[in-house]
Chains A and B, each alone.
Chain A
Amino acid sequence: MITIKNLHASVEGKEILRGINLEVKAGEVHAIMGPNGSGKSTLSNVLAGREDYEVTAGEVIFNGKNLLELSPEDRAREGLFLAFQYPVEIPGVSNINFLKTALNEIRAYHGKNEITAKDFLALVKEKQKLVELDGKLANRSVNEGFSGGEKKRNEIFQMAMLEPTLSILDETDSGLDIDALKIVANGVNTLKNKNNAYIVITHYQRLLDYIVPDFVHILYNGKIVQSGGKELALELEAKGYDEIKKQF
């Protein structure tokens, strides 16, 4: 699904990613863990196409296309979804209107007609249940006045609505209490199938109790320094990041 080869990226001249290699296949869940400042968020922003980041070397092939040549909106239309660590508020724009615009843009890109109002509402109803999102939240302005947990659930709701092939969850667990965490994880587990894939970025092992990864990678100083199965996360949790820092 996505192949990242020797990816280097900098922000304001400072190199943050120093040669990332990663391959994610359809049906897989990969977790990327690492201490603060290791480049986790940079990786997700670079993949989503944020302009402040400069890719200095490497390549990324996403579903057969050169991802780095695509605009951020085309990456989204090709099926890449980023669940933001800090979801943005858009006052006055209803969640529903926002999602309908997004969905229709994606459909237009694939040569499909606009979704009918009836089908859209049915879809909203179905997906809302999945993340136990209050019907009222769907009609409110995008993220405006949402609690931290509501914002994160709204991200997963949007993911459910847009049905991406690759979803990157950027520290979706941060700021969530255990109940919200379970709801979010449950949403992801329900949406998971053999045709899509997930990259779960997290600082803590906690989320991985609920979203069980096939692979765990440890990111440190802009490189993946260690990869393994789900047991690697537990090992890391027990030892702490200091061990990693000493080693590399």
Chain B
Amino acid sequence: MSNEIIQEHINKDYEWGFITNVESETFAPGLNENVIGALSKKKNEPEWMLEFRLKAFRHWQTLSQPSHWANFPYPKVDFQATSYYSAPKKKPELKSLDDVDPEIRKTFEKLGISLEEQKRLSGVKSNIAVDAVFDSVSVKTTFRETLSEKGIIFCSFSEAIQEHPELIKKYMGMVVPYTDNFYAALNAAVFSDGSFCYIPKGVRCPMELSTYFRINTGGTGQFERTLIVADENSYVSYLEGCTAPQRDENQLHAAVVEIIAYKNAEVKYSTVQNWYPGDKNGKGGVYNFVTKRGLCIEDNSKISWTQVETGSAITWKYPSVILKGNNSVGEFYSVAVTNNYQEADTGTKMIHIGKNTRSTIISKGISAGFSNNSYRGLVQMRKGATNARNFSQCDSLLMGDKCGAHTFPYIEIKDKTAVVEHEATTSKIGEDQLFYCKQRGIDTEKAIALIVNGYCKEILNKLPMEFAVEAQKLLAVSLEGSVG
């Protein structure tokens, strides 16, 4: 593939890079116990919450920043240069949609996220409940009344701390303790908001639940926490979307997501991650250091992660499942696209503890430009995980000859009856494939979209309908101009 053409086409702008002009209250940069105290006070948190934060902070101070995590270098983050709280001034206590700052409403509308319950922008009646998080705070959660009729709790994390302290105390940190890793500790100390969701026994959530994260203010980090608890015999499908304005500096996003599934419960978690990836020279972009983990705590439970990762300058993310209950099932379906100077190190961990536990991993990496894309995954079969099974498939697609694709599968088997299968392929988007498409009248951009969507089809099929269409378009846009 000729390099001139790669260069020529690579200049596609990030569509979501606009900045909203809204008056914000932002903490001065820096992190110490006083900042955490102020943050907790700002949110009117109970004493136990502040203690949790301080414990985490003290632990975090004993840790050093991971430097050689992935197989490529990354610049050290200056944690004292980041602001840990930023919220639109015109808050809090929203009684109705009219109380939401019109600028913020416009922002979400521009992003295609309607905060109104009765209509979607497309004119189709919505069947998705949304929790919209703007910088550090949740601005609006829709459909709460409809959901509460079924006993479903879906609200911002801050509200959950106030209104359901017993649930938060019980579950927060159960799957990802603050001692888990550097960024999990940091998140536990400074997280500002996020979503909480509880599905009671025997309830099938009647609509998709969704959280939309938007970083707006410059120089701030976003540290959100999501906690989903699915009680016995319940089901929920959860979607997460994110974007950020285009800025020259790097912004930090360090989230924690915890999922707990009880007996016969099923949680399906889908992400379309589209943080600002930086410009074509690798300047700016979001550092996306996320800990996501699910716990199949009881028998026959199921947790499924589906992710389409196209944004961020650097992504470290390993949505995992601990399969504790017998016959529990863990799934990980991933498409990760990197272009220009983006770097992604993503994969999963499947920890088999219970008998007859099953896990499936399908990962599709697409690299273009000067980017690096790694799959890193652990399959662990602990002693006693009788007849546990795993199937892993990791495929990499390369565009051009300046990018890299890497696969790091870790397999640990302590039970003789366990079966692990692993397949990996690497292919280059062929000049032959492109020429074939062109000879049929299809231009380069359309041909790439066609080939890439075909390549990712089995993952895209796992996404809820509305999301799948969006993801398809996003893939095409992210790779626009990446190949000649």
Residues in chain A within 8 A of chain B (CB atoms): 48-52, 71-73, 75-77, 81-82, 84, 87-93, 97-99, 101-103, 105-106, 109, 141, 158, 162
A48 B443 Cβ-Cβ under 8 A: no
Which one of B430, B432, B442, B451 lies within 8 Å of A105 (CB-CB)?
Answer: B442
User: How many A-B pairs with Cβ below 8 Å?
Assistant: 79
For A88, the chain B residues whose CB sits under 8 A away are 430, 432-433, 435-436
Q: Which of B435, B440, B444 contacts A98 (CB 8 A)?
A: B440
Asked if A90 and B454 sit within 8 Å, CB to CB, the answer is yes
Residue of B nearest to A108 (CB): B441
Residues of chain B lying within 8 A (CB to CB) of residue A77? 441
A51-B2, A101-B446, A105-B446 given; A91·B439 CB < 8 A: no
Residue in B440, B453, B454 whose Cβ sees the most chain A Cβ within 10 Å: B440
Docked Cα-Cα span, A99 to B443, in Å, equals 13
The answer to the question of B337 belonging to the interface, with a C-beta cut-off of 8 Å to chain A, is no
Q: Is the CB of A90 within 8 A of B435?
A: no
| Nearest-neighbor residue (CB-CB) of B427 within chain A | A91
> A92 to B456, Cβ gap below 8 A?
yes
Q: Interface centre among B432, B435, B451, B456, by most A CB within 10 Å?
A: B435
A105 to B444 alpha-carbon distance, docked (Å): 12
* Least distance between B187 CB and chain A CB atoms (Å): 37
Closest to A83 in B: B439
In the complex, what's the smallest C-beta–C-beta distance from A4 to chain B, in angstroms?
A: 18
Other than the known A76-B439, A92-B453, what 7 A-B pairs have Cβ atoms closer than 8 Å?
A: A51-B431, A87-B436, A88-B432, A88-B436, A90-B433, A92-B455, A92-B457
Q: Could you pull out 17 A-B pairs where Cβ atoms are within 8 angstroms?
A: A49-B439, A50-B435, A72-B435, A73-B438, A73-B444, A76-B439, A76-B441, A77-B441, A81-B439, A88-B430, A88-B432, A91-B454, A92-B457, A93-B454, A102-B437, A105-B440, A162-B440
Q: Which residue, A75, A89, A90, A98, has most C-beta atoms of chain B within 10 A? A: A90
Which chain A residues lie closer than 8 Å to B446 at the CB level?
101, 105
- In chain A, what residue has the closest Cβ to B1? A51
Give the interface centre of A99, A101, A109 by most chain B CB atoms within 10 Å. A101
Q: Chain A residues near B435 (CB, 8 Å)?
A: 48, 50-51, 72, 88
A-B pairs with lowest CB-CB distance, top 8? A92-B454, A93-B454, A102-B440, A92-B457, A76-B441, A72-B438, A88-B436, A106-B441
> Does the CB pair A91–B455 fall under 8 Å?
yes
Q: Which of A50, A76, A92 interacts with B440 by CB under 8 Å? A: A76
CB of B97 closer than 8 Å to a CB of A: no
Q: Mark B133-159, 1 if CB is under 8 A from A, else 0.
A: 000000000000000000000000000
Shortest Cβ distance from residue B206 to the other chain A in the assembled complex, whole angstroms: 32
Give the docked Cα–Cα distance between A209 and B439 (Å).
Answer: 28
- B450, A98: Cβ atoms closer than 8 Å: yes
Give A91 to B425 CA distance when docked, in angstroms. 13
List residues of chain B with CB within 8 A of the CB of A76.
Answer: 438-441
CB of B80, distance to nearest CB on chain A (Å): 47
CA distance A141 to B454 in the complex (A): 9
- B residues lining the A interface (CB < 8 Å): 2, 430-433, 435-444, 446, 450-451, 453-458
Output the least CB separation between B304 and chain A (Å): 21
Contacts A84-B436, A88-B432 hold; do A93 and B453 have CB atoms under 8 A apart?
yes
Assembled-state Cα–Cα distance A177/B438 (Å): 29
What is the chain B residue whose CB lies nearest that of A51?
Answer: B2
Instruction: Give the CA-CA distance A84 to B437 in the complex, in Å.
Output: 12
Interfacial chain B residues near A97, Cβ < 8 Å: 450
Whether the pair B439, A48 counts as a contact (CB closer than 8 A) is yes
Pair A105/B436 contact, Cβ less than 8 Å: no
A105 touches B453 (CB 8 A): no
Residue of A nearest to B440 (CB): A102
Q: Which of A49, A97, A102 has the most CB of B within 10 A?
A: A102
A84 nearest CB across to chain B (Å):
7
Task: Report which of A75, A93, A109 forms a contact with B451, defined as CB distance below 8 A.
Answer: A93
Most buried by A among B2, B437, B441: B441
A89→B437 CA distance, assembly (Å)? 11
A65 to chain B, nearest CB (A): 15
Q: In angstroms, how far is the closest chain B Cβ from the Cβ of A141? A: 7
B441 partner residues in chain A, CB cutoff 8 A? 73, 76-77, 102-103, 105-106, 109, 162
Give A220 to B456 CA distance when docked, in angstroms: 45
Q: How far is the CB of B5 from chain A (nearest CB, A)?
A: 9
Find out whether the CB atom of A71 lies under 8 angstroms from the CB atom of B438.
yes
Whether the Cβ atoms of B436 and A90 lie closer than 8 Å is: yes
Which of B2, B436, B444 has the most chain A CB atoms inside 10 A of its CB?
B436
Closest to B460 in A: A92
Nearest residue, chain B, Cβ from A79: B441
Residues of B within 8 A of A84 (CB): 436, 439
Q: How far is the CB of B362 from chain A (nearest CB, A)?
A: 13
* Chain B residues whose C-beta falls within 8 Å of the C-beta of A73 in the assembled complex: 438-439, 441-444
Distance from A33 Cβ to chain B, minimum over Cβ atoms (Å): 23
CB distance from B281 to the nearest CB of A (A): 27
A72 engages B439 (CB within 8 Å): yes
A contact residues around B432 at 8 Å (CB): 88
Is B436 touching A158 in the complex (CB atoms < 8 A)? no
Looking at the assembled complex, report how far the CB atom of A160 sits from the nearest CB atom of chain B, in whole angstroms: 13
A201 smallest CB distance to B (angstroms): 15
Question: Which B residue sits closest to A75, measured CB to CB?
Answer: B439
Identify the interface centre among B454, B457, B458: most chain A CB within 10 Å of its CB: B454
Tell me which residues across on chain A come within 8 A of B456, comparing CB atoms.
92
Q: How far is the CA of A51 from the CA of B454 in the complex (A)?
A: 24
In angstroms, how far is the closest chain B Cβ from the Cβ of A144? Answer: 9
Q: Which residues of A contact B455 (CB under 8 A)?
A: 91-92
Chain A residues lying within 8 Å of B438, measured Cβ to Cβ, are: 49, 71-73, 76
Q: Given A51-B2, A88-B430, A92-B457, are A101 and B450 neighbors across the interface (CB < 8 Å)?
A: yes
